[in-house]
Amino acid sequence: MALTKAQVIDSVQQQIGFSRNMCTETVETLLDIIKRTLQNGDDVLISGFGKFCVKNKSQRKGRNPATGEDMMLEKRRVVTFKCSSVLRDRVSGQSD
C-alpha cells in the first residue's frame, strides 16, 4: 500500500495540530519547491532521508518491447533517489 498525499497531510495535521488548510498548503509548498528545484536540474538533499538527483541520459539504442523493433531513444533527464544510511538502517530494522 502506498502512502498518499492526503495521508501525509492528515499525518502532519495530527502531529502538529494546525488546520487542514494550513497543513495542505505546507505540504503542497514543500512538494512544489522540490519539483521546481529538480526541474531546474539541481539535486535535492534532505538530511537523514536521502538525495534526489537529476541525471542526464544520452541518446541510445533501444527496443520496442511490443514489436521487438530496434529504435533510438531520445536523450532525456531522469530523477533518481539515493536513500541516506539513516533511512536505509531504519527500513531494514537496524535502528529505531
pLDDT tens figures, 67-80: 999 999 999 999 99
Per-residue pLDDT tens digits for 37-47: 999 999 999 99
Rounded CA gap, 41 and 1, in Å?
30
CATH homologous superfamily for 42-96? IHF-like DNA-binding proteins (4.10.520.10)
In the chain, % of residues over pLDDT 90 = 95
pLDDT at residue 28 in the model:
98
pLDDT of residue 95: 65
Q: Which set of grid coordinates corresponds to residue 50?
A: 536521502
Are 50 and 85 in contact by the 8 Å Cβ rule? The answer is: no
Say what the pTM is: 0.80
